[in-house]
Structure 1
Amino acid sequence: MPAPHHAPHDFAAYARAHWPRLVVTARLLTDDDGAAEELARRTLARMCARWRRVPRDDVDFHVRRCLVRMHLRGPRGRRAARRRAVLVLRFWEGLTDTEIAQVLGCSTGAVRARIRHGLHAAGAGPEQLREVYARTAGEVVPSEVPLPGIQGRGRELRRRRVAVAAAACAALLTPVALLAVGRVGAGGAQELATGGPRTAPSPVRVVTPGERVTAGPGVRVWLTADGGHWSAPVTIAGDDGDRPLDEPGVTLRVDTVKGGYLLSGLFHGLRGEPSRVEVRTGDDGDTTTAKILVLAGSPGWGVWYAGAPVPEKQMKALLDGDGDERIVTVYDASGKVAARSDREWWRA
C-alpha cells in the first residue's frame, strides 16, 4: 500500500501523515488498542530524537523497523511475536522476504520459515489473513497524533544520546560491577588481526565451559551453556541481548580499557562455525578481524572480540557516523554474510 505523501525534511508533517497507519500496524502487532497507540507514540519519539540522521530516501524503512523492533522488546513471547510480526509485514505492509529480513535483522530463510509456521498457527491462508487484517484495520480509529508530547520526548532522548556520546568520548563513565575475573590467556588477545588474505591461522578458538580468555586490558570473556559472559572495569554501551540462540544475530558492546575502547559481543544462530567476524574500527572503512570463542559442541554461537582497543578518536568517529552502516559483520562457513550488528546499538 502506498505511503502518504509528506514533506521529507519535516518531522511534524511526517508524523501527522503517518500516525493513522502506524497505529493500525501497531494494533495488528499488539492486538490491543491502548498498547498500539503507546507503541506508535514511542516509535515516533525515538525517530524524532534521531530525525536528522535518518536517510531522507529511506525514512519509511527506519520508522517501520523501529516500530517492529520496539514491539519485539516487550514481555510478549518472543517466538510468537516474531511470527506475528512477519505475517503483518507480509500480508498487511506488503513487504518482500528480503525487506522483512532487513527489518528484523535475520535471514530470508528465517522469514520464509516464520511465514509458514505463522500461517499454520493462524489456520488461515494468505488471502484470508489479508481480509482479517483489512477488517481489523477498518475498526481502528486512531486519536489525533499527540505531537507536542512526542517531540518533547524526542528532545529528551536526543539529549540523552548526546550525553552518552560525549561521555563515551571523554571516558567519564560509571563503573559497573560485572562477573568475576579469570585467568589470562596465552597472549593472543593482544594481537591485532588484519583484513588481508585469509592465510593466517583460524581466529576460532574452542574453549571449555567457564574458561576465561583475556579480550583486552582488564576485560575477560568466557562461555557457559547459558550464554556469553564478560568481566570488565567499565561498560559504556552495548546489548548482550536475550534473543534465542537459534536465530541469526550478533550483539555489540563497548568497554573502556587502557588505550581506548574494546569492542566485543555475542553471535548466534549460525549453522556451524563462523569463518570470521569483521569489525569496522573507523569511519574511513578500516576493519579488523575479530577473535572468536566457541563452546565445544555448540559451534553455532559464541563470543567475538576485537584483538586490540579502538583509540578514542576512532571511537568518536564510529559514534558520530550516520546512515545505516553496521559495525560488526559475521560470515558463515561458506563466506556469506550471516548476521550484522544493529546500527542503533548505542542509541537506546
Structure 2
Amino acid sequence: MPPSHAVLPAGPDFAAYARTHWSRLVATARLLTDDAGAAEELVRRTLVRMCARWRGVPRDDVDFHVRRCLVRSHLRPLRGRRAARRRTVLVLRIWEGLADSEIAQVLGCSVSAVRAHARHGLKEAGDEPVRLRERYARAVEDLVPSEVPLAGLRTRGRLRRRRRLAVTSTACVALLTPVTVALLSVDRIGGGARDGASGARGERSATSPVRVVAPGERVTVAPGVRVWLTADGGHWSVPDALPQDDNHLPVDGPGGAAAVSARADTVRGGFFLSGLFRGLRGEPGRVEVRTGDGTTTAKVLVLAGSPGWGVWYAPAPLPGRT
C-alpha cells in the first residue's frame, strides 16, 4: 500500500519528524534509486540538510520541503537524464499520490512537463497506473529500514548549519558595498545602450557582460544555480536554498524608483552574489561588485527591448580562499 501520512502535532521538532517519517522516506527513496543502500544514504543526506535549516521550515508545510529536498538531492547528480525524471514523476504521482501541480512545485517545472514525463514514463514502464502501484508495493514490502540514525543526523546537521551561517554572515557584510556600487552605476548605465548604430551594438555585445535572454529562458549562472526572467521579475533556482528565501524578486517597486537588491547563496567553493536592478533607461553598460577581495564586473541578464531592469550576478570565493 502507498505510504500513510501520519498527522503530527503543530510544530513538530526535528527528532519527532525524523522518527515518524524515516521508514516512509526510505521506501520512497528505494523506488527512486532502485537500490536499498543508496536509498538510506539519500534519506540521510536529505535529513541532514533539513536539520541544518529546520528553524526556517514552515511547520504547516514540512512534508513539501522534505520531499523537495529528497527529490532534488536524488536528481542533482543525474541532471539531464530524462529517465530519472520520468521515474521520479511516476513515484510521486502513483506512490506518493501527489497531483501534477504539486509535482511541478517539487521539481520546479511546469505542469505540462510533468504530464509529458508521466506519459513517456508509463509507456516505458509498459504498465497501467494500477499495476505499477502494485509493482511499487511489492518492491518495498520486504524493505526493513535500519533504525533512524538520529544522533548522526543532528551532529552533521549542526555542522552544516554553522558552516552556512558563517558563509552567510560573511556574504552579508560583503553585500553592503555591492548595493551602493551598483546604485552609483545607474548614472553610467542608461546612455550607452541607446547610442550608436547597430554595428556599434554588435561590437559591444562581443565584450559586454550584458546578455539578452528570452522570457523564461533558464540560464545556469553558477554550479546548480539557474536564473530566469519573466515579465514580472527575476527568478532563482538554488540548491539547498533556505525555505524562507525569496526566490522571486518582482520588478515593480514603490513609485518605480531606481533600486538594486542583493542576495547571497552558497555554492561549491564559495558563495554566489546576485540581485535585481530596476529604474534604468536602457541596458546597463557596467555593474561592479566590490567585496573584500576586490572589485568584480558582474554579469547581467536583461530581456529584449531594454526594459530598464534585469538581474546581476557574480561569484565570490570563500573568505581566505583564492
User: TM-score per shorter chain, which class?
Assistant: 0.5 to 0.7
What's 2:239 paired with?
Answer: none
Match of 1:73 among 72, 76, 99: 76
1:267 aligns with 2:233: no
Shift of 1:88: 0.3
Q: Residues 101 and 111 of structure 1 are in contact (CA less than 8 Å); yes or no, is this contact kept in structure 2?
A: yes
What's 2:206 paired with?
Answer: 211
- Which whole-Å CA distance do the structure 2 matches of 1:267 and 1:286 have between them? 11
Cα 1:145–1:100 shift into 2, 3 Å: same
The residue type paired with residue 99 of structure 1 is: E
Shift of 1:70: 0.5
**Partner SS state of residue 56, structure 1:** coil
Could you give the per-residue CA deviations for residues 159-214 of structure 1, whole angstroms, max 9, x where no partner exists?
A: 01111210111129xxxxxxxxxxxxx954799xxxxxxxxxxxxxx97997333x
Cα 1:130–1:208 shift into 2, 3 Å: farther
**Partner SS state of residue 233, structure 2:** strand
Match of 2:5 among 3, 6, 29: 3
What's 1:92 paired with?
Answer: 95
- Which whole-Å CA distance do the structure 1 matches of 2:140 and 2:202 have between them? 52
What's 2:41 paired with?
Answer: 38
Shift of 1:25: 0.4
Cα 1:89–1:277 shift into 2, 3 Å: same
Q: Residues 83 and 118 of structure 1 are in contact (CA less than 8 Å); yes or no, is this contact kept in structure 2?
A: yes
The residue type paired with residue 158 of structure 1 is: R
Cα 1:207–1:13 shift into 2, 3 Å: farther
Aligned counterparts, 1:279-290, within 5 A: 287-288=250-251
Cα 1:129–1:286 shift into 2, 3 Å: closer
What's 1:145 paired with?
Answer: 148
Shift of 1:137: 1.6
Shift of 1:78: 2.5
1:310 aligns with 2:240: no
Cα 1:53–1:134 shift into 2, 3 Å: same
Cα 1:267–1:211 shift into 2, 3 Å: farther
Match of 2:67 among 60, 64, 68: 64
What's 2:233 paired with?
Answer: 277
Cα 1:13–1:188 shift into 2, 3 Å: same
Larger RCO (alpha carbons 8 Å, 6+ apart)? 2
Match of 2:30 among 14, 23, 27: 27
- Which whole-Å CA distance do the structure 2 matches of 1:309 and 1:34 have between them? 47
- Which whole-Å CA distance do the structure 2 matches of 1:91 and 1:139 have between them? 19
Which region of structure 1 is more displaced relative to structure 2, 81-90 or 71-80? 71-80
**Partner SS state of residue 267, structure 1:** strand
1:15 aligns with 2:18: yes
Aligned counterparts, 1:58-207, within 5 A: 58-75=61-78, 78-171=81-174, 188=189
Cα 1:209–1:46 shift into 2, 3 Å: farther
Cα 1:71–1:279 shift into 2, 3 Å: closer
Could you give the per-residue CA deviations for residues 211-268 of structure 1, whole angstroms, max 9, x where no partner exists?
A: 333xxxxxx24489xx968xxxxxxxxx6356xxxxxxx82xxxxxxxxxxxxxx439
TM-score, with length taken from structure 2: 0.62
Aligned counterparts, 1:194-343, within 5 A: 211-213=206-208, 220-222=209-211, 240=222, 251=226, 266-267=227-228, 274-275=230-231, 277-278=233-234, 287-288=250-251, 309-310=260-261, 315=263
The residue type paired with residue 277 of structure 1 is: G
Cα 1:189–1:209 shift into 2, 3 Å: closer
- Which whole-Å CA distance do the structure 2 matches of 1:73 and 1:96 have between them? 22
Could you give the per-residue CA deviations for residues 78-108 of structure 1, whole angstroms, max 9, x where no partner exists?
A: 3111111100000000000111011001111
The residue type paired with residue 150 of structure 2 is: L
Cα 1:189–1:41 shift into 2, 3 Å: farther
**Partner SS state of residue 171, structure 1:** helix
> How many pairs does the alignment contain?
234
Shift of 1:123: 1.1
The residue type paired with residue 6 of structure 2 is: P
Aligned CA RMSD, in angstroms, stands at 4.1
Task: Choose between structure 1 and 2: higher helix proportion.
Answer: 2
Q: Which consecutive residues of structure 1, in runs of 5 or more, have no partner in the other structure? A: 173-185, 192-205, 214-219, 230-238, 243-249, 252-265, 269-273, 291-306, 320-326, 334-348
